[in-house]
Amino acid sequence: MQQVKGEKAAGLSKQLAQYSLELTYDSLPAEVVEFTKLCILDYFGSAIAGSEKVPVRMIAELAEEMGGAQQAHAVTGGKTSVLNAALVNGAASHVVELDDIHKGSIIHAATVVIPAALAIAEWKQLSGKELIAAVVAGYEVCFRIGEAVSPSHYYFWHNTATCGTFGSAAAAGKLLGLNEEQMVSALGNAGTQAAGLWEFIEDGAMTKQLHTAKASMNGVLAALLAQKGFTGPQKILEGDRGFFKAMSDAYDESRITDGLGEQNKIMENSFKIHASCRHTHHAVDLLTEIFKDRRPSIEDIESVSVESYQVALNITDDPDPQTEYAAKFSLQFCSALALLTGSAGLADFNEEVLWNEDIRALTKKVKVTTAPAIDASYPRQWGAAVEVVFKNGETIRKETDFPKGDPENAVTAEELRSKFIGMTFKYPAQKREELADAILQLETVPEIGQVMAAL
């Protein structure tokens, strides 16, 4: 194992703890507050949309069977313990593949940080302002840790599950009012629970939902234990038997501390507009553009090629997906879907679409490869180039460095509100609007329980 750039730093957990505890709502610039509320709105949309999915219902049923004090709401209905609420709500927000993503760390922070923060904030009757500050801190912590170990960590480990556990612990610990020593222990015991292997991708298992559920729950557990004086390793990141050395071939400790407290990395967050793995979005964007221009049929298309970075192929090179969920992780299928329908949204992944003859036929014509130049820019840029060859001899090629929803290719606040309205279809139209209004005015809410009860 090698260390990249930066001399070995001491006390990384202590520096992250200091940052997390010193951050206040009043210290946040107005644009950070507004952006954070959009992240929270986007979280709720994904969680509500995912609340009825089979893996989430299984986790919710187990939580109900296990029982516990009624301390916080689950998006699946009713109240449960703080730990169970984090578990269920963490699972719910990841299953429809529309949750946010940060390029540099390769983390879906909302699905692990926000459920943990909500559970503690509701239980302790805390305000919207306190929740916002905790979410900013949680994002910062997990993004920095994810950047330090990426991309090598990502081959075996699901960053959202592993690095995300630190973020949920930081957010929960901040809301619990931990002192610095306790926060260091919380981070230490979050790190020792960090887990989540990519093997589920091979057979489409439900494990991905367990990853986010446990990352959120484990961070809360670590913070709650720290509050009682339960100690954790002081150098869980940089220690000789710690997170960096154990779980990454190459890491950069300087990513933890460079600019810490001087920037708000939550502003680097990206939002998803397609209901599939983010590593398919670049191609979907480009092929959707071609659909809008040409409206091609399967009879018109000779071949499709997609060039991207190697990680995209590691995760999404699947020419024959057998389930709806596997289709979301198939670059070939998502490309065919986008080119023939111009869409890859929440309603586009179902059994009928999965086995559509034209989409399946075009899926077989999609060739995916790694382009060295694009690969060299990853993870700073998640780029792709597509080329469609038509049977009339015409060829269309398009390229992008940033999928729609990245800060460099941003969605608007109104687009995110519309996304939320579309994802919360289980509610009447008026209630969707009221929920969006409440979340987007979160800084005025005296107790988070008011928002959670409205669900």
Q: Are strands 384-390 and 395-400 parallel, antiparallel or unpaired?
A: antiparallel
| 163 pLDDT more than 90 | yes
* Rounded (10°) angle between helices 82-92 and 30-50: 80
Q: What is the pLDDT of residues 10-59, one digit of tens each?
A: 499 999 999 999 999 999 999 999 999 999 999 999 999 999 999 999 99
Lowest mean pLDDT segment, chosen from 1-5, 31-35, 102-106, 351-355: 1-5
Instruction: Give the pLDDT of residue 225.
Output: 98
Q: What is the pLDDT of residues 172-198, one digit of tens each?
A: 999 999 999 999 999 999 999 999 999
| 425 pLDDT more than 60 | yes
Confidence of residue 204 (pLDDT cuts 50, 70, 90): confident
The rounded percent of the chain whose pLDDT value lies above 90 is 96
Question: Which residue in 350, 351, 335 sits closest to 301, CA to CA?
Answer: 335
- The answer to whether 345 and 274 have CB atoms below 8 angstroms apart is yes
| 89 pLDDT more than 90 | yes
The rounded percent of the chain whose pLDDT value lies above 70 is 98
Distance CA 237, CA 242 (A): 5
Q: What value does the mean pLDDT take over residues 329-342?
A: 98
Q: What is the pLDDT of residues 250-291, one digit of tens each?
A: 999 999 999 999 999 999 999 999 999 999 999 999 999 999
Instruction: Give the pLDDT of residue 350.
Output: 94
Confidence of residue 455 (pLDDT cuts 50, 70, 90): confident
Q: What value does the mean pLDDT take over residues 221-228?
A: 98
Q: What is the pLDDT of residues 360-404, one digit of tens each?
A: 999 999 999 999 999 999 999 999 999 999 999 999 999 999 999
| 423 pLDDT more than 50 | yes
Instruction: Give the pLDDT of residue 3.
Output: 44
- The answer to whether 301 and 336 have CB atoms below 8 angstroms apart is no
Confidence of residue 239 (pLDDT cuts 50, 70, 90): very high
Distance CA 218, CA 438 (A): 28
Segment (H or E) for 454: helix 449-454
Supply the pTM of this predicted model: 0.95
Confidence of residue 2 (pLDDT cuts 50, 70, 90): very low
Q: What is the pLDDT of residues 55-84, one digit of tens each?
A: 999 999 999 999 999 999 999 999 999 999
**What one-letter code names the amino acid at 320?**
D
Average pLDDT, the chain: 96
- Name all domains of the chain by residue range, CATH numbers in brackets: 2-268 (1.10.4100.10), 278-404 (3.30.1330.120)
Q: Please calculate the CA angle 227-228-232 and round it to the nearest 5 degrees.
A: 75
Instruction: Give the pLDDT of residue 203.
Output: 87
Q: Are strands 79-80 and 72-73 parallel, antiparallel or unpaired?
A: antiparallel
- Burial label for 134, CB within 10 Å (0-12, 13-18, 19+), is buried
| 4 pLDDT more than 80 | no
Q: What is the pLDDT of residues 133-162, one digit of tens each?
A: 999 999 999 999 999 999 999 999 999 999
